[in-house]
Structures are given as C-alpha cells and as structure tokens.
C-alpha cells in the first residue's frame, strides 16, 4: 500500500512539474530540431543567401515606405543611381540563384546560433530578449527586404538592357527563395514573408506587362505551367507555424509551480508584460487583474491540455478545404473559458489572420500563372482570348484558374464534397472599349480597348465587375503600372 501511494505521488509530481530542459535553452533546442531548420549544409540556403546580403553596399536611400521593392521602377526619380547600386552588387544574383536550389533556408533560432558577423549585421532571430521568453526579435527580416529591393531593381535593369531571359530567371529565383522563407515556423515570420512573396508576384506581373513584347510565348508558357505552380501554398506544402506553440508551452511551465498551481507572482509579471506590449496604458490595472486571476485559473495540467486542444483545432482547420462548413464553427480558442483559461487565451496567438493571408497568396500565385498565360497567348495570336478556357493545355493548367475567394453555388452545405475543386474560377473578360477602373489612389483610371481584365472576388465573395480595386482583387492588368503610366504615382 505504501509503495502504491509513493508511486501515485511520483506520478503527480512528474505530470505537474515543468518539463526538463524547459525555459529559453529548451525552447531553442526544440526550435532548431525542426525539419524546417535542421539539415545538412548542402540542404540549407541561409549561409549562401545572407553571406551575399552582408556583401551588399549601402543603397542610395535607406529602406522606407517610399523606397522598397514596391516603389522602384525605371522611370523613378534617381533611377540612374539606383541601377548603378544594383550593378555594383551583382554577386547577389549567384547567391539568390543558388539559394533557390536548396531545400530549406535553415536559419537557426537564437542569436548565439549564428556567427558574430551576422549578429553585428542584424541577421538573427532572438528568442527571449532580456530574459523574457515571450519577447522575440526577427531582426533578419529587414535584410531579406533589402535583398528583395536589390532583386527588383536588378530585374528592371536587366530588362531595360534587353536581358529578358536572365531577368525572368532571377525574378523567379527570388520568388522561390521567398516561398522558402514562408516555411519559417513562427507566425510573424510567415505573415511577413507571405506578404513579401505577394509583393514579389505583383512585381513579376508588372514586369510582364511592361516588357511583354520582349518575352517569347514559349517563355510565358514555361512561367505559367512550370515556374509559378511550383510555389504552391496548399496545406500539404505550407505548414502551420509551430514556433509559437513551443514558446506558449514553455511560458505555461513558467506560470505554474512544481505542484501545478498558478504562481500569482509569475502571472502578474509575465502576463502583464505580454498584455502591456499590445496595450501600453493598461499596466497598473493589468498587474492587479492577472495577480487575482491566478487564484481562479485552472492548474497546469488542464491548461496544457487546453493549449493542445487549441493547437489541434488549428491544425484540423488548416487542412480543411475552402468554404468547408466546419470552418463556420467557433474555434477551440473562442470556446475556451475566459476565466479558467485566461492565461492560455492571452498566450496563444489567434491565427485567423494567417488563414486569410494564405488565401490571398494562393490567389496571387494562381493569378500570376493566368497572367503569364494571357501574355503568351497575346504574343502568339495577337489578341487576348475570349475565354480563359482557350488557354488550357497550351498555356495554362486548369488548376491554376481557381479563385480561392470564390465560393461555388451549392444547394446544401454537404454538396461541397461533390466538386473536384472547392472554389470557382477567376472572373475574366476581354475589353472591347475603353473601360473605367477605380483604384486606391485614383477615382478614375482607364483600361484601353483590346485589353483584358482578370480579377478575384476578394474577401467579400462578391463580383463587382472588377471596376474597383477596393472591392475586387485586380490581377491583370497590374494596377500599379496603370497608375504610373497615368502619372498618378511616381
């Protein structure tokens, strides 16, 4: 009987005590054990890519809202100095092309995991700044933004000098590298790089529009059928961010005592700091709130179990097809008790925004493939097609003509299982006369006759005829180029 009691006590202590190796060191070890981080030197791209970035000279202007990969083009003010900067840093081309051929980026987590030269250049991910496990610093993202700026300028420089094939290969290699960065394992990293990849795709469409005649139909066919589809972001290729889950579990370990009870001092210190980062003026009230909440909170075991249920729920939702009826049901995070699991609800990141960003990126990828096919058809036949179906087989895969935001009409929710594709096709029409278009920067822009328009219904799932950039996602013609040509933006 005594032995049985001792065994039960030992079991309880084992379950309630923090895991061995928890804390910052344990978190970094677990993060760097991910298949998306570890690997052989031949499989990783981070040293090649960032060695090239370190070799970049100072650009003519610092990165800013007015000088980045979305604002540069050959007719901008100061183009000569900008293009000279790109030319003097041609070593980056080899770094990007080689990195695109590697399996993963593989940049390890923890500032101590990279060389000192990288730390001095801000190329690192710091986990637990100032001994606060929840403080993360993805400093290296700015370096990737700088490299993307260089690539955009260099591609335009090459196109201007008549090297269209070399420019298209470099642009595509950069898209592949950015797609690999989308596989990083923290939510903030994924969203940052998914947006950056979307910007890169938009720039690629800009270049296709501006230099359409310099690119052969065969090259456009290759871009539409082979290059762009490689960037797939479906649930089997783009995985959920697990880094935040690892940090969240380690934070729960810090919030509870070895007996599994909530530690009121840790609740006040850690949870107040997390809340104040988002709401700086609430420190005093937040400190009192979290200290009192510790006495009503569930124990460590129940909190960890709830955390795992929330994460499992996100995983299930991530793998569901678009517009699946179960996506309309409240998530485990939304259903969790706001008192019993207050700490869990604060620590866990709501990733609904990631689902939206994936849909946007998915649509951008498909839209870029269709745009390339339209250019190839136009160059070959001299006119744009009357229907996107005319692109199939020769210039485009059918699976690229899918708008992630367009629901299919169904009689009942169960009908979704009857379709091979869960979403509808892009909206497309050939323009026979000059057509107006409202954009973010202009109340009236014009699409010339004998052109065409390709658009997604966007998040509201309503067809607004592609007449307004605010309601539909205009994929072709590129709105940014139309605004520049009209003198609306410079």
pLDDT tens digits along 70-123 = 999 999 999 999 999 999 999 999 999 999 999 999 999 999 999 999 999 999
Quote the number of domains for the chain. 3
Q: What is the DSSP letter of 443?
A: S
Asked if residue 370 and residue 303 are part of one domain, the reply reads no
* pLDDT band at 11; cut points 50, 70, 90: very low
d(CA 301, CA 11): 12
In this predicted model, what pLDDT tens digit does every residue of 292-349 receive, in sequence order? 999 999 999 999 999 999 999 999 999 998 888 888 899 999 999 999 999 999 999 8
Asked if residue 175 and residue 45 are part of one domain, the reply reads yes
Give domain status of residue 17, yes or no.
no
Asked if residue 470 and residue 377 are part of one domain, the reply reads yes
Give domain status of residue 86, yes or no.
yes
Asked if residue 63 and residue 202 are part of one domain, the reply reads yes
Domain final residue, candidates 311, 328, 350: 350
Asked if residue 311 and residue 340 are part of one domain, the reply reads yes
Name the token pair of 413: 């929710």
Give domain status of residue 21, yes or no.
no
Is residue 313 within 8 A of residue 270, CB to CB? The reply is: no
Asked if residue 367 and residue 407 are part of one domain, the reply reads yes
Residue 148 CB contacts under 8 Å (≥ 6 apart), including other chains: 69, 174, 178, 196, 199, 200
Question: Residue 12: what pLDDT?
Answer: 35
Domain final residue, candidates 305, 331, 350: 350
Give domain status of residue 297, yes or no.
yes
Give domain status of residue 395, yes or no.
yes
Asked if residue 413 and residue 312 are part of one domain, the reply reads no
Give domain status of residue 224, yes or no.
no
Q: Which helix (H) or strand (E) holds 454?
A: strand 451-456
Asked if residue 319 and residue 369 are part of one domain, the reply reads no
DSSP for 82-139 reads HHHHHHTTTHHHHHHHHHHTSSB--PPSSGGGS-HHHHHTT---EESGGG-TT-EE-T
Give domain status of residue 33, yes or no.
no
Asked if residue 71 and residue 45 are part of one domain, the reply reads yes
Question: Residue 10: what pLDDT?
Answer: 39
Residue 125 reports pLDDT greater than 80: yes
Which SS3 state, helix, strand or coil, does residue 411 take?
Answer: coil
In terms of residue numbers, what domain contains 418?
Answer: 358-485
Asked if residue 124 and residue 74 are part of one domain, the reply reads yes
Question: Residue 444: what pLDDT?
Answer: 80
Residue 374 CB contacts under 8 Å (≥ 6 apart), including other chains: 384, 385, 391, 452, 454, 476
Question: Residue 185: what pLDDT?
Answer: 96
In this predicted model, what pLDDT tens digit does every residue of 407-461 receive, in sequence order? 887 666 666 565 677 899 999 999 989 888 888 887 788 898 999 999 999 988 8
Asked if residue 299 and residue 176 are part of one domain, the reply reads no
Percent of the chain surpassing pLDDT 90? 76
Residue 361 reports pLDDT greater than 90: yes
Give domain status of residue 8, yes or no.
no
Asked if residue 398 and residue 324 are part of one domain, the reply reads no
In this predicted model, what pLDDT tens digit does every residue of 28-44 receive, in sequence order? 999 999 999 998 999 99
């Amino acid at each position: 009987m005594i032995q049985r009691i001792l065994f039960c006590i030992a079991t309880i202590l084992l379950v309630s005590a923090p895991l061995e190796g928890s804390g910052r060191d344990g978190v970094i070890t677990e993060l760097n054990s991910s298949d998306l981080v570890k690997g052989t030197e031949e499989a990783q791209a981070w040293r090649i890519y960032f060695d090239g970035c370190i070799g970049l000279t100072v650009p003519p202007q610092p990165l800013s809202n007015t000088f980045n990969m979305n604002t540069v083009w050959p007719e901008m003010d100061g183009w000569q100095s900008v293009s000279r900067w790109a030319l003097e840093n041609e070593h980056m081309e080899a770094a990007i092309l080689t990195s695109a051929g590697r399996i993963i980026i593989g940049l390890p987590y923890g500032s101590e995991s990279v060389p000192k030269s990288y730390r001095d250049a801000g190329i690192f991910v710091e986990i637990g700044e100032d001994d606060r496990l929840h403080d993360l610093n993805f400093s290296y993202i700015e370096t990737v933004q700088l490299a993307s700026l260089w690539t955009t300028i260099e591609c335009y420089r090459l196109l201007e000098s008549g090297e269209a094939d070399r420019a298209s290969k470099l642009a595509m290699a950069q898209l592949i590298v950015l797609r690999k960065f989308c596989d990083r394992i923290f939510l903030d990293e994924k969203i940052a790089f998914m947006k950056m990849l979307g910007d890169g795709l938009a720039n690629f469409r800009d270049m296709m529009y501006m230099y359409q005649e310099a690119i052969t139909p065969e090259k456009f066919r290759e871009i539409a059928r082979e290059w762009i589809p490689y960037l797939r972001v479906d649930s089997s290729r783009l995985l959920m961010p697990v880094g935040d889950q690892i940090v969240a579990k380690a934070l729960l370990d810090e919030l509870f005592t070895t007996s599994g009870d909530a530690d009121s001092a840790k609740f006040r210190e850690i949870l107040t700091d997390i809340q104040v980062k988002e709401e700086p003026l609430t420190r005093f009230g937040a400190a009192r709130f979290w200290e009192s909440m510790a006495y009503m909170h569930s124990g460590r075991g129940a909190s960890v179990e709830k955390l795992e249920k929330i994460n499992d729920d996100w995983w299930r939702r991530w793998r569901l097809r678009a517009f699946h009826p179960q996506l309309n049901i409240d998530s485990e995070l939304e259903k969790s008790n706001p008192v019993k699991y207050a700490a869990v609800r604060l620590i866990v990141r709501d990733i609904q925004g990631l689902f939206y960003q994936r849909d946007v990126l998915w649509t951008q990828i498909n839209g870029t493939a269709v745009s390339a096919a339209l250019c190839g058809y136009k160059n070959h036949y001299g006119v744009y097609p009357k229907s996107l179906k005319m692109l199939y087989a020769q210039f485009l895969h059918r699976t690229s003509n899918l708008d992630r935001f367009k629901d299919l009409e169904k009689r009942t929710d169960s009908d979704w299982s009857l379709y091979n594709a869960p979403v509808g096709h892009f909206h497309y029409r050939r323009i026979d006369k000059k057509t107006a278009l409202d954009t973010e920067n202009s109340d009236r822009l014009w699409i010339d006759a004998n052109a065409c328009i390709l658009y997604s219904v966007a998040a509201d799932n309503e067809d607004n005829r592609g007449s307004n950039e605010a309601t539909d996602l205009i994929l072709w013609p590129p709105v940014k180029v139309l605004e520049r040509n009209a003198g609306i933006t410079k």
